[in-house]
Structure 1
């Protein structure tokens, strides 16, 4: 079995050794009698002393809207933990050191619980705004945490500062904030706090309590740090939704990509307030779908690699223009089909902090999204590089499978990009797209002995590679890559260097 197969089966076969211990631990969690009676949730949504009407309030099961004077009432089951609002457009996102505070923990000891939410109007319009998506910081050791704080966080702050005072900015932590080490959550919080902007966080498979006996129990520590695992908010004309698509099976390290009926029913209620045709941004950790199984020539996707009931989610979202923000895979991929675009992000940690790139050659980094009205444009920000760093050219002979050709990696490529290459200034047309390994990733990660440490890391086949075959007399090749928004990125390579 090659190590790719080993990694693929970590969520399926690889639990065999761990399962007896985990099951034994789960058996020790004795059931307690749960009070299933109700608590009346009520309060007021206000701003500068005036009630704010039409704000969605939820306990994660039902959704109600605040009245004309800002009041709300909601009868809630005592098994719920939070009452929270879908923060409305035109208002600031309240946060404490970048952890957005849109929720209150319910005290179920009495028959009613009062929670008021005070909103503050933005000083500028949010029809234009920017958001940033951090996928898989995935810190496991203090060394990882130090790199996150000393390298990734300052890069993030520099990007935020370039927008600050011009447009509102928020962040999305797209899961695997840590790598099973909950004592490092404060390090993650320290890193995002350096940005000074509010972050909304997504639970990943490495943010779960592995000793839990159910999926619900696996989110306990995450909820203590960040609040609800699914919720929504609004900015400008965009409706944002965060979902928990990591379904924990009750055995350590075993999970699948799945969205339960409770979330789907909640989402249907939440979207009743969103007009058809609007743009909806849905953030979740495991991608709804990728092309990786096809690249690997597998018949079906991995159980833990995509959302298995994604079609049910697509059906709910059919009336909208949807952008999915996902992470998990440690490669970068953008796919577009009908009303949906999925941005599966390269990671903040690269290939688990073993070098400056992911398994597909994408630099460690994150996504930056610029919003104007209901339109979204985007680029990938490589940590430590300028915004213009959007492709890499490898010289002839660098790719082991195509030694007579130069190789080009355009990591944020989608079908709406346009590529053209030049030989000593002469236009040569479009490079040929192929599925292959990125040469640098292959060099760094292929083989049981590397990288050191974490030798199980492997390169990923990717289809954002392009090839050209210059004549022997050519001295310089140049590539122009035009993104879907008309931005032209250029790289040149001197073949005699």
Structure 2
């Protein structure tokens, strides 16, 4: 609060107003976007340029430093709704133009005259004491209009009119380098008629930008600020660009944050209530694969220091096109009272819209860890409690071995009396290191399955089928199977007598209770 107050004082002191923009945040009762005489200003709303944060006064007025190319936004408070823009996305931001055209391939931010007055209409909503439901998308990543059609039919259309979510997030790689696709994919997402917020990914950058400061001009022109916050009754959301553009270097980008982002966080986070869930959304994961330096350690530790005193924090990331839960501790610079949960969300596009097409012409697109493509949901209750779920894009109703929670693999036939060297595998899509997974055969006793670090046999089979095929089975073949972070194995008994035997698997999901799946195998008599 002190930083915000200082910013406001600087602006109202003599001579500074010539360098400032001002405006009003108001309750737009008639929804015409203009403050009419009987529409009051809203006090205490945070407004930011991505670095400075100020609060509106009793009349809803604010003032901020004015600079070309800045994205100005109101942090939507709980109990209010931002109006929809012409594109159907929430219009909680305004873009200051550049003084001259950027010359970027995809247009960047247009040039023009700076606006010295920017108002933000909001609409007061009915207060409902209910859990918050959020759709969480990651990496839709179309590289063509064909891929946008896959996204529309596979992810979005099945949700239209059926979701209870009141907020949606997309965690980056909105497209795959072709930024001209932004309007089309935004229109598909907006058709859900859910307020939707976007994080920038490494494939959302103007790769012809000469430095990191200009790398998200086109993204900001279409989707607004790359670092901002959004408040709901049950949770506060802080969404951050964490891709540092490094033109001419190898790698061409690295995970990290800018100084202006830390200035925003240092000004805003002290005002955030600690009794609700604080959700951070980024693209590049803050954890690092073994042996790889993908995120700047100093930036991660600086962020964690700002979050340390928050008792309820959830971190979303994307980027990997696999799915994993990671719990940060002192080893990664986290020193909070409890480990920090990072959910690395699987991709809408799965393995980049690859694999064999189904009867509807949509690629299978199973990810390299065996997770089917799809989307996640977040449900937030009181006192910072939350529940997560993964929703595969397509499920076969006639296949009990593939459910929304897991997919099983087992051999079809084994020799009766053979050494029990073959097993049933359970890929539990939301599985964590502490997930309890058990199996039983023919209704016998439940036995624990062992967590293993290896590739899902289901995807290995697809790899073999692609290898031995005489022609392409799809436009792009399925990804090479990689060790999964959520795979379990149980040995199949061979001493049960010839015939078919039923296998049941159950997994204790920490948010969705017990999840079940089933399969079978057959024992055959054989002579040497």
Structure 1 and Structure 2 fold alike (TM over 0.5): yes
Describe the shift of the 1:45–1:388 C-alpha distance in structure 2 as closer, same or farther (beyond 3 A): farther
Describe the shift of the 1:125–1:93 C-alpha distance in structure 2 as closer, same or farther (beyond 3 A): farther
Runs of 5+ consecutive residues of structure 2 not aligned to the other structure: 1-16, 30-38, 100-111, 329-337, 356-363, 414-419, 524-528
Q: Contact 1:60–1:80 at 8 Å: present in 2 too?
A: no
1:39 and 2:19 are equivalent in the alignment: yes
Describe the shift of the 1:222–1:437 C-alpha distance in structure 2 as closer, same or farther (beyond 3 A): same
Q: Contact 1:40–1:113 at 8 Å: present in 2 too?
A: yes
1:394 corresponds in structure 2 to 409
Tell me the SS of whatever aligns to 2:346.
coil
2:277 corresponds in structure 1 to 279
Tell me the SS of whatever aligns to 2:123.
coil
Describe the shift of the 1:277–1:186 C-alpha distance in structure 2 as closer, same or farther (beyond 3 A): same
Tell me the SS of whatever aligns to 2:519.
strand
Distance 2:276 2:309 in 1: 8
1:233 and 2:230 are equivalent in the alignment: yes
Tell me the SS of whatever aligns to 1:262.
helix
1:270 corresponds in structure 2 to 268
Describe the shift of the 1:308–1:395 C-alpha distance in structure 2 as closer, same or farther (beyond 3 A): farther
Q: Which structure has the bigger radius of gyration?
A: 2
Structure 1 residue 367 displacement after superposition:
0.8
Deviations 1:9-33 (A, max 9, x none): xxxxxxxxxxxxxxxxxxxxxxxxx
Distance 1:118 1:395 in 2: 58
Structure 1 residue 246 displacement after superposition:
0.6
Describe the shift of the 1:361–1:403 C-alpha distance in structure 2 as closer, same or farther (beyond 3 A): farther
2:108 corresponds in structure 1 to none
C-alpha RMSD of the superposition: 2.8
TM-score (structure 1 length as normaliser) = 0.82
Structure 1 residue 457 displacement after superposition:
3.9
Describe the shift of the 1:288–1:127 C-alpha distance in structure 2 as closer, same or farther (beyond 3 A): farther
Distance 2:187 2:487 in 1: 36
TM-score (structure 2 length as normaliser) = 0.78
1:75 corresponds in structure 2 to 65
2:258 corresponds in structure 1 to 260
1:203 and 2:207 are equivalent in the alignment: no
Structure 1 residue 362 displacement after superposition:
0.5
2:82 corresponds in structure 1 to 93
1:409 and 2:427 are equivalent in the alignment: yes
1:423 corresponds in structure 2 to 441
Deviations 1:147-199 (A, max 9, x none): 111222112326xx241xxxx51111111111111222123113212211111
Q: Contact 1:175–1:327 at 8 Å: present in 2 too?
A: yes
Structure 1 residue 403 displacement after superposition:
6.1
Q: Contact 1:451–1:457 at 8 Å: present in 2 too?
A: no
Runs of 5+ consecutive residues of structure 1 not aligned to the other structure: 1-36, 294-299
1:128 and 2:113 are equivalent in the alignment: no
Tell me the SS of whatever aligns to 2:132.
strand
1:463 corresponds in structure 2 to 485
Deviations 1:362-417 (A, max 9, x none): 0101110111223211100110238961001101379xxx9611111001112453
Distance 2:477 2:393 in 1: 23
